[in-house]
Amino acid sequence: MKASFAIVGCGKLGCALAKQMKSSGYPLAGLASKSITSARKAADDIGTDIFSDKPWEITRSADVVFITTPDGQIQAAASLLAENKGLKKNAVVLHCSGSQPSTILMTLKKCEVSIGSLHPLQSFASTRIEGNPFKNIIAAIEGETEAVALARQIAQDLGATCFFIKTHAKSAYHAAAVVASNYLVTLQDMAFRLLQIAGIPPENAFQVLGPLIHGTLSNIEKKGTEKALTGPIVRGDTETVSTHVDEILRMAPDLLSLYKTLGRHTVHIAESGGNITKEKARELIQILSEKKIS
């Protein structure tokens, strides 16, 4: 018999998790959220009438409780469960934050439960997602022995691959995820702006850049970052870099500081990969550090 589960926090991840846990054969103990509206909407979507805005009412019967509130509300939600005797003995409580360690649930230890965290490395952008968003993704897991064992089983049943992270390393791990996902969006936004200056409208930008983006990702996957680097910096083409700086200063000065910062970091990658000499790296860094005024 699979563990019964409850969700506290019916937002984007909570709804996806509820749907997929149910599809994977885990009995639903109930859904709870801060507002009854969110809890009711999630319950309608998943097809249950067990929902509440008093989480402890539905978590009491659950073998595993997922706290899927925003990161800043996890401790408060956990405290409410403890104060209202909302957990059964030997239950597992998991939060799903990428940056926070399981130890933020320490207040629950007096309830004789096992605490952990399970972070699905995926972007959940809506409360209604088609298909299984956990399939073939990585789930980072840490915490106490019983919690980790159940989290691992759940992750596998959802179709994810487990990755065990050290409790103290969660912040660096999450920063990596933010750079890989959120800052990729920021970089594409910057590229789209520069394309627009070149006369290509934003609605066509992805069509233009898409093959380049996919090709680059494929090169990183096959060869690693140093060998995937192409373009003027790795060629030591100082004149091209200099004209970029001048043009961005003229047409989009607010993007210049980011362009230069990324450029300087790229010079270090090119140099450490043995693609440019120390002297060339110095020249490029000089161009990418000069303060010019438009």
Give the footprint of ligand NAP on this chain (CB under 6 A): 8-14, 33-35, 38, 55, 68-71, 73, 76-77, 96-98, 119-120, 122-124
Closer to ligand NAP by CB, 31 or 287: give it.
31
Closer to ligand NAP by CB, 49 or 203: give it.
49
> What does each C-alpha distance from 134 to 119, 127, 139, 225 come to in angstroms?
11, 14, 8, 27
Q: Are 198 and 250 within 8 A, CB to CB?
A: no
Closer to ligand NAP by CB, 118 or 267: give it.
118
Region of 138 (left: φ > 0; alpha: ψ -120 to 50; beta: rest) is beta
Q: How far apart are CA 282 and CA 203, in angstroms?
A: 38
Closer to ligand NAP by CB, 33 or 102: give it.
33
Closer to ligand NAP by CB, 120 or 232: give it.
120
Q: Which amino acid is at 277?
A: T
Closest separation in Å from C-beta 101 to ligand NAP? 12
> What does each C-alpha distance from 191 to 6, 122, 187 come to in angstroms?
43, 24, 6
**Of all residues in this chain, which one has the CB nearest to ligand NAP in the complex?**
11
Q: How far apart are CA 24 and CA 273, in angstroms?
A: 46
Region of 62 (left: φ > 0; alpha: ψ -120 to 50; beta: rest) is beta
